[in-house]
Amino acid sequence: MEPPLFPRESGQFVAERSQDVFVEEEGVQKVAELLCALLGSDELCASGWKKANPLAPAPTSDQAFNWVFVVDTMNFSFWPDEETRQCEVTFRGVTHTGYMTLCAAITRAIEEGVPITDPKFFSQMTVDELAHILRSDNETSMPMIQERHQVLTEGGRVLLQHGGSFRSFISRAGNDARKMVELVVEKIPSYRDEAVYQGKRISLYKRAQILVADYWAVAAARGDADFVNIDWLTMFADYRVPQALVYLGALRYSDALTRTLKSGELLPPGDRREVEIRACSIWAVERIKSRLAELARQRGSGGCGVNSALIDFYLWPYAKKHHREMAHIPVHHTRCVYY
């Protein structure tokens, strides 16, 4: 079987053929200018990872790497069936929703003495044990507990087969980001985020790429970021970043797609429209990265050194921060383990 296109090539392939999602160069320029003003700041720096992940263990702790693996392995599908009924986790006096409920729940478990970052534990944990760890403060449970249990125990068994920790497992790929993604996708089935678009196998690899990017960011925060091919990573195609790209004008949805999303229609995994939203988001960020590099050169900054992962690390919190201003832009919904 022919291997799938890698995410960057997949993004370009889909963007050149897309029927309902379009990359807008005027918006691409706008986002590039926004980011250019932030060059050199912590907001576009891998070593700022701890600031962006305040619930994670200190990056100097080896536990941080396994924490990243546990969280990224279960990093999917947090949106509620009803917007007014969200899973909530209150931790250290702050009530969290969405993805942050997972981060809060895992760190809460650590403080309660549960060895949730130990593959020997989470490879054999029961569904009930995981449900207790991920328990909500209200009557709305975190979605897809069975699926989260399946992918986490599966991932834990893989780590035990390859050294017993995420760091020992990923070190098999050296410090090569591309090889790391390939290793994760090869060994752990739940990370194989692939689809078929107009007869071509493509890949989006949201969780595999963010897993490698988070590993790199923790290493950078430790002062050990001597990685190669980090620029090979693309953005991490999910729900919120596409919404931010539409809001900023770098993406445009057709009227038909906008109506469909506003109606609340669930898009099945692999649906043409779902693939176009995610793949065109990848290509939009690639265009932003290219324009940002041009702007940096024009302004005498040399190579700006900002890759697609760092752009994503900026856009996701941006989307959360500006969610009220962006509320008129519909977010697509697809239930799956890939994002």
For the annotated catalytic residues, the residue numbers are 238
User: Quick one: DSSP state of residue 62?
Assistant: T
From CA 196, how far away is CA 21, in angstroms rounded? 17
3-state SS, residue 337: coil
Q: How many CB atoms lie within 10 A of CB 327?
A: 11
Residue 1: both structure tokens together: 């079987």
In terms of DSSP bridges, do strands 89-91 and 94-96 run parallel, antiparallel, or are they unpaired? antiparallel
Query: Of the candidates 183, 164, 60, 46, which has an alpha carbon nearest to the alpha carbon of residue 115?
Result: 164
**82: β partners:** 85
From CA 165, how far away is CA 178, in angstroms rounded? 20
Residue 4: both structure tokens together: 């799938």
- Nearby residues of 188 by Cβ (< 8 Å), 6 or more positions away: 73, 154, 155, 158
* Whether 308 contacts 285, CB under 8 Å: yes
- Nearby residues of 4 by Cβ (< 8 Å), 6 or more positions away: 10, 194, 201, 202, 203
3-state SS, residue 5: strand
Strand ranges in the chain using DSSP code E only, listed in sequence order? 21-23, 89-91, 94-96, 194-197, 200-203, 251-253
